[in-house]
A and B are shown apart, each in its own frame.
Chain A
Amino acid sequence: MQFKHITCPQCGLLCDDLDVSVDDQDVTLDDNAHSVCQQFFVDAKFTDKSTLQPKINGKPCTLDEAVTYAAKLHATAQQSIISGLIADVQACRSAFALAEKTHSVIDHANGQSMRASTAIMQRYGEVRTTLAEARNRADCIVLFGAEILEKFPKLRERILQPAETLSGNTERKLIILDVVENADLAADKEIDFFHLALPNLETAIQQLQYLASPRASTKTEIDPSIRAIYQQISTSNYIVLTWTASLFAKNTAEQTLQNLTFFIKESMKTQRCVGLPLGGSRGEITANQVSTWQTGFPLPVAFTSGAPEHNPVIYNAETMLANSEVDLLTWVSTYSSDDTPKQYATANIVIGHPNMQFNQTVDVFIPVGIPGIDQRGLACRTDAVATLPLHSIRKNDLPSADHVLNLIYQAL
C-alpha cells in the first residue's frame, strides 16, 4: 500500500510531505529522504516479534495481567512519577488523568531542556513566528549554530530556502553563525556562514543584544562579524532569528534566551523582527501544550496535593529519579525504540515502542502501537501553532498508549 502526505514525528518540524509504502508490517519511506527522517520508519520494522507481547519482569504475559500488575504497583507506590511523554496528544491526556488519580509528578523526558524557554515566556513573553510565515515572509534569517540544520533535516528545503515564496522574494539573506569551522557551509554560495572568533554562541548573542540595547556604545569591543550581522538585520524588513535551546549551555540558557528576547523586542520598536525557536523532536511541545490546557501550568506538574502544582526545581523528573525521590516510574515513550528511561526507579512500568530493549529488567513492559504508523494520533509542531494528524498506516493488534493508560486508570 502507498500512502501520501504522511506525517513524520522524528523531529519537531512534523513534515507531512512524505510518501510511505507499507507491505504487511514493513514500512518504507519512498523517496531518498534524509537519514534522520528515515530513522522513524526504519525503527518501526519489528525486529523480534516476541517483543510485541507485554511482559512482567521479563516474562511474557497478557495485556490484562500487565495492566493489573501495573495498577498494583501504582496502588502501593508512595510517590510515583510519570515521565517520557514521548507520545501523541491522546496518550498525554490519559497520562495526565492517571497522574492526577495517583497523585503523581509528571514531566517530559526532555523537561530540563524546556525550562529556560518556559521561564522566559512566563517572565517576559516573546515575539515569535511560525514555519510558513518564516518561509514566505523573511528577507533575512539568522541561525545560531550550524547544528540546527542537522537536527532539523528538512528545515533548509522547506523553510529556509524554499523553491518559491509568497512574496516572490528569492533574495533572502540566510546567515548561519557558529564558533566552529564548517567547510561545507563556508563553501556554500547560498549561505552567509560566519565562523566567529568567539568562545561560544552565547557570547555572540550577548554581543548582538548589546548592539541593539539603548546603552550600546561604539567603544565596547564587539566581534566585527557580529557588527556586520547587526548591520544586515537593521536594514532588513522581516528578520527571523532561529535557535534551538538545546545547543545552549544549560546553566546559562535562560540568560541567553533572555538576550534573544530583548534583542527582538528592542528591534520591534522600529522594524519587524521575530523569533523561531526550534524544538519538540521528542514530542515535548505536545506534552507541554496538553499540560498547559489541562492543568493551567507548563511541565512539570505535581498532583501530590490534589491540585496541580508547578515547580520546575522541585519536580524535575531527572533529579527526582537520580535522588530516589520516587519509588515508581511510569515511562510513556512511543516514537523511538531508543527512548528508554535514562534512570530507573525502584519499580518501573514502561508503555513503549514495540522494539524497545532495556539494559535492566523492567517490572512491566507494555509494547504499544506507534502513533503515525500503527495508531492515529495528534501532535503539536515546534511552533506550537500547527497540530498535525499522525496516520495509521499499518494494521496489527498493538494497543495504543492512550488505551493502555486508560486501562491502568480504570483498574485503580
Chain B
Amino acid sequence: MAIKLVGAQIYDPVHQIDGKKMDIGIDQEQICNADALAPDCESIDVSDCIIMAGAIDLHTHIGGGKVNIARTMMIEDHQAHLHHGDHQCRSGSGHAVPSTFTAGYRYAEMGYTAGFEPAVLPVNARHAHMEMADTPMIDKGGYVLLGNDDFLLQMMRDGASQSAINDYVAWVLNASQCIGIKVVNAGGVHAFKFNQRRLDVDEVSTASGVTPRQIVNVLSRAVYELGVTHPLHVHASNLGVPGNFETTIATMGAAEGVPIHLTHIQFHSYGTEGDMKFSSAACEIAEAINKNKNVTADVGQIMFGQTVTTSGDTMMQYYGHEHASPKKWTVMDIECEMGCGVVPFRYRDKSFVNALQWSIGLEIFLQVNDPWRVFLTTDHPNGAPFTSYPHLIKLLMNRSFRNDHLSNLHPEAQRMSNLSSMDREYSLYEIAIMTRAAPSKILGLADQGHLAAGATANITVYRKQDDIEKMFAHPAYVFKNGKMIVKDGKIIETVKGVTHVVKPDYDKSIEKSLRTYFDKFQTISLDNFKISNDEMEECIGSRVVEHPCKKT
C-alpha cells in the first residue's frame, strides 16, 4: 500500500533536516520519494504535525528471567494496574514492569518502534527472546552478558590471546542471537559468588585473579575488532556508591580509546561532598564524556514514584537491598555465567539522595554537549518505567518546567545542585537525535532512525501542541514497516516486530575448547545452548534480521 504524508515539519538528523516542511511517501514497508507515488494514492494531511522516524530505546529491561521475577514480586503494582484486552489487543497488567503485550502496546502508543534488552544471559537467551517475541508492535534485540562468566575469566587467567577471546565473544553472539555485548560489574558478580562484597576497578579479584579494568579492556577490544557496531555496553563497577564517579572515569579509560558505552551513567556519577557525603559529580562525568570521543552513555534518569530495580549486578543489588520498598528482595547466582538481583524501590522527592539522583541525571543530559553521544533512557524499570519518557523530554526541553519541579524537591538537594543555573533547553532536532538517529547509528541499524527513501517505514507523526509531554505521549499516527499501527494515540493494528542480531565471523576451532567446557561443567549441552535462526522463527516466534559487521 502507498501513502503520502503531506505537509508536516520533518526532523531527520541523519540527513540534517531540522523542521523543514516536506512530504513523506510510504510504499509497502519502505519510505519512498513522495513525488514518485501515484497522484491518486492515499494521502494524509499532516500539515499541523511534525514527523520523526520511529523512536528506538537503546536500553530497556523488557524480557528475561529477571523481569519475570520482578513481575512476580511486584504483585501490588500489577493488581493496581489491570489492562483489559479488546478485539485488537491482548490483556495484561503492571505499570513498573508490565506484562509483555502491554509493554509492546505502550511503546507503540508513544511512537517507539524498537527496544533493546540490555541484559540477556547466555543460558537465559531463549527465554528472553520468547518474552520479546511476545512483546508485539516493536522490533527487539539483546545485549548478551559476558565478563563474569567462568569461561572468559579462565581464559584471561590462562593468558589467552585477544584473538581467542574475540572468537569466544563472536561465538556467544552467534549462539545467543544478540546484537551487542554487555558487561555488568565486570568480575564483581563472579566475585560475589565467593563472598566478596565489593570490587573496585583496579582491584584484583581474589576469586578470578583479574581486575575489572582488564575485563572491560579485553571485551571492548573484542567487540571493536570483530566489527560489531554497538560498542561494549558497560554497567560499571560500584553502582550507587558515593564517590563512584572516579570508578566510572577509570572504566572509560579501560577501553584505551576504542568505543565504549557507559550505561545508566547517572547511577555512576556520585561524589562524596557535603554533610551527607553524597554529591553530584555530573560535571566531572559530562566533562569526561565531552573529552573522550570514544565514549557514549545513556543516562538512566530516575523519576519519583514506585518502581523495581532489576539488574545482573548481584553484588550491588545485595548492597542496596536494605532500601527495598516494599521490603522484599531477590538475588540469584546463575549458571557460572552471571547473576541477577531484583529489589523494588520507591524514589521519593522528599528524600535528599533521590532528589539529588533526579538532578544528577538531568545535569548530565544538559552538560554533555553532543546529543549523538548521550541517550534518553530511564534504564526501564530501574530509574522509572519507560512510560515516563514524554515527561523526561519535557524536562529537557522546558527550563521553567524543570525548575518548577526542582523547587519542590528536598531543600538540601536543591542547594547541592546547580541544575537551576543551566539554561540549556533541548530542541526537537536534538530529541530526534537522542531517540532516533543516534540509537540507530550506534546499533548499526542502517535502515532505521531516519526518513530517507529506502529506509524501513517506521514513522511517528506528532500533532504539534504547546504541551510537549502530551505531544510525545500520544502521537497522531505511528507507522511500523509501512503499516499504520497507531492513530490518535490508540492502537489500530497489531504487528509482531523482528529480532535484530549480528553474527560476526570467528575461528570455529574455539568450539573445541567450549565443547570440553560444556561437557565437563555445564548442565546443558553445547548443541542445545545454541539458538538457530529457524528455532527463533518457528519455536521462539520472532524472525531474525542480521546486520553486518565491519571487521577492522
Binding site for B on A (CB under 8 A): 4-5, 7, 16-17, 89-90, 93, 97, 100, 118, 121-133, 135-137, 158-159, 163-166, 237-238, 268, 271-272, 274, 289, 292-298, 303, 305-310, 376-378, 380, 384-389
Interface centre among B68, B71, B131, B541 (most CB of A within 10 A): B68
Q: Which of B84, B195, B333, B521 contacts A164 (CB 8 A)?
A: B521
Does A272 lie within 8 Å of B193, measured CB to CB?
yes
Q: Report the bound CA distance from A128 to B332 in whole Å.
A: 5
Bitwise interface map of B from 533 to 551 toward A, beta carbon under 8 Å scored 1, else 0: 0010011110000000000
Does A131 lie within 8 Å of B335, measured CB to CB?
yes
Q: Report the bound CA distance from A121 to B326 in whole Å.
A: 13
Task: Give chain B residues whose Cβ lies under 8 Å from the Cβ of A297.
Answer: 71, 75, 78, 93
Q: List 20 A-B contacts (CB under 8 A).
A: A90-B539, A121-B69, A121-B73, A122-B73, A127-B331, A132-B123, A159-B523, A166-B150, A237-B195, A274-B333, A289-B127, A292-B68, A293-B67, A293-B131, A294-B100, A296-B92, A306-B85, A385-B121, A385-B332, A387-B126
**Chain B, range 122-177, C-beta contacts under 8 Å to A:** 123-124, 126-127, 130-131, 134, 150
Task: Give chain B residues whose Cβ lies under 8 Å from the Cβ of A121.
Answer: 69, 72-73, 330
Does B528 lie within 8 Å of A7, measured CB to CB?
yes
Task: Give chain A residues whose Cβ lies under 8 Å from the Cβ of B541.
Answer: 93
Does B521 lie within 8 Å of A130, measured CB to CB?
no
Does B528 lie within 8 Å of A125, measured CB to CB?
no
Task: Give chain B residues whose Cβ lies under 8 Å from the Cβ of A296.
Answer: 71, 78, 92-94, 97-99, 102
Does B85 lie within 8 Å of A100, measured CB to CB?
yes
Take A238-B193, A296-B99 as given contacts and tell me if A132 and B335 are in contact as well, using a CB distance cutoff of 8 Å.
yes
Task: Give chain A residues whose Cβ lies under 8 Å from the Cβ of B78.
Answer: 296-297, 310
Q: Report the bound CA distance from A306 to B123 in whole Å.
A: 35
Task: Give chain B residues whose Cβ lies under 8 Å from the Cβ of A130.
Answer: 123, 332-335, 523
Q: Is B41 an interface residue (CB 8 A)?
A: no
Task: Give chain B residues whose Cβ lies under 8 Å from the Cβ of A292.
Answer: 68, 71-72, 99
Take A294-B92, A294-B100, A303-B91 as given contacts and tell me if A389 and B528 are in contact as well, using a CB distance cutoff of 8 Å.
yes
Does A386 lie within 8 Å of B524, measured CB to CB?
yes
Does A309 lie within 8 Å of B520, measured CB to CB?
no
Interface centre among B63, B124, B130, B342 (most CB of A within 10 A): B130
Does A306 lie within 8 Å of B520, measured CB to CB?
no
Query: How many whole Å from B121's CB to the nearest CB in chain A?
Result: 7
Q: Report the bound CA distance from A90 to B541 in whole Å.
A: 9
Q: Which residue of B lies closest to A101 (CB)?
A: B85
Task: Give chain B residues whose Cβ lies under 8 Å from the Cβ of A118.
Answer: 72
Task: Give chain A residues whose Cβ lies under 8 Å from the Cβ of B71.
Answer: 292-293, 296-297
Label chain A's interface by main secondary structure.
Answer: mixed
Q: Is B336 an interface residue (CB 8 A)?
A: yes
Task: Give chain B residues whose Cβ lies under 8 Å from the Cβ of A307.
Answer: 82-85, 91-93
Q: Is B329 an interface residue (CB 8 A)?
A: yes
Query: How many whole Å from B95's CB to the nearest CB in chain A?
Result: 10
Q: Is B101 an interface residue (CB 8 A)?
A: yes
Interface centre among A118, A135, A136 (most CB of B within 10 A): A136
Task: Give chain B residues whose Cβ lies under 8 Å from the Cβ of A378.
Answer: 126, 130, 539-540
Interface centre among B134, B194, B524 (most CB of A within 10 A): B524
**Chain B, range 292-347, C-beta contacts under 8 Å to A:** 318, 328-336, 342-343
Does A126 lie within 8 Å of B98, measured CB to CB?
no
Interface centre among A90, A124, A389 (most CB of B within 10 A): A389
Does A293 lie within 8 Å of B63, measured CB to CB?
yes
Does A310 lie within 8 Å of B523, measured CB to CB?
no
Does A133 lie within 8 Å of B85, measured CB to CB?
no
Q: Report the bound CA distance from A308 to B540 in whole Å.
A: 23
Does A89 lie within 8 Å of B72, measured CB to CB?
no
Does B124 lie within 8 Å of A308, measured CB to CB?
no
Which A-B residue pairs are the 10 nearest by beta carbons? A296-B93, A296-B99, A125-B330, A307-B82, A387-B126, A125-B328, A5-B525, A131-B523, A296-B94, A132-B335
Task: Give chain B residues whose Cβ lies under 8 Å from the Cβ of A159.
Answer: 523
Does B318 lie within 8 Å of A133, measured CB to CB?
no
Q: A132-B522, A292-B99, A296-B102 known; 9 other A-B pairs, CB under 8 Å?
A: A97-B90, A125-B69, A127-B330, A130-B333, A133-B335, A165-B521, A272-B194, A387-B130, A388-B524
Does B91 lie within 8 Å of A380, measured CB to CB?
no
Q: Is B253 an interface residue (CB 8 A)?
A: no
**Chain B, range 75-129, C-beta contacts under 8 Å to A:** 75, 78-79, 82-85, 90-94, 97-102, 121, 123-124, 126-127
Q: Is B527 an interface residue (CB 8 A)?
A: yes
Q: Report the bound CA distance from A132 to B151 in whole Å.
A: 13
Query: How many whole Å from A265's CB to the nearest CB in chain B?
Result: 8
Task: Give chain A residues whose Cβ lies under 8 Å from the Cβ of B329.
Answer: 124-125
Query: How many whole Å from B434's CB to the nearest CB in chain A?
Result: 29
Query: How many whole Å from B526's CB to the nearest CB in chain A?
Result: 8
Q: Which of B121, B126, B328 contacts A124 (CB 8 A)?
A: B328
Q: Is B7 an interface residue (CB 8 A)?
A: no
Query: How many whole Å from A313's CB to the nearest CB in chain B?
Result: 14
Q: Is B65 an interface residue (CB 8 A)?
A: yes
Does B523 lie within 8 Å of A387, measured CB to CB?
no
Take A130-B334, A133-B193 as given contacts and tell me if A384 and B528 are in contact as well, using a CB distance cutoff of 8 Å.
no
Does B72 lie within 8 Å of A386, measured CB to CB?
no
